[in-house]
């Protein structure tokens, strides 16, 4: 379960570590992000229904530094990877563990 909570949020650090990616693709753009807010403390909804968590803080800071915007769409947990694979989302975060099956359709960053 722990891997599930931190897995896909690894993408954030992978993207953050690639300045070429950030400079050439992300800067000034809107990123479509798939999330499932069911992995506290990584990503969850507060009592007032707002998204919060470590993953959101990291990705928001990354986008602020790269002058890009987040367009966040909530999915059921099992729908996030499908959204990325189909092109509905550019990236997903919410804690997904890396498996060989998932690596066949999604690129992951290094774990953090």
Residues of 65-95 as b/e, b for ≥16 C-beta within 10 angstroms?
A: ebebebebebbeeebbbbbbeeeebbbbbbb
Residue 109 lies in a domain: no
Residue 111 lies in a domain: no
Identify the domain containing residue 42 by its residue range.
2-103
Cα(50)–Cα(45) distance, rounded to whole angstroms? Answer: 5
Nearest Cα to 73, choosing from 85, 64, 61, 84? 84
Tens-digit pLDDT profile for residues 17-68: 555 544 567 888 999 999 999 989 999 999 999 999 999 999 999 899 999 9
CATH of residue 57: 3.40.190.10
Residue 112 lies in a domain: no
Whole-model pTM: value is: 0.74
Residue 39 lies in a domain: yes
Residue 19 lies in a domain: yes
pLDDT above 90 covers what percent of the chain? Answer: 49
Q: Quote the number of domains for the chain.
A: 1
Q: Is 103 exposed, middle or buried (0-12, 13-18, 19+ CB in 10 A)?
A: exposed
């Amino acid at each position: 379960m722990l891997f599930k909570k931190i897995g896909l949020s690894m993408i954030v650090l992978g993207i953050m570590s690639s300045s070429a990616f950030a400079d050439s693709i992300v800067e000034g753009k809107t990123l479509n992000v798939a999330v499932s807010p069911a992995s506290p403390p990584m990503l969850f909804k507060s009592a007032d229904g707002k998204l919060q968590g470590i993953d959101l803080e990291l990705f928001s800071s990354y986008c602020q530094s790269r002058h890009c915007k987040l367009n966040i769409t909530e999915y059921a947990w099992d729908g996030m990877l499908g959204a990325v694979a189909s092109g509905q989302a550019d990236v997903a975060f919410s804690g997904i563990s890396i498996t060989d099956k998932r690596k066949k359709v999604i690129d992951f960053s290094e774990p953090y």
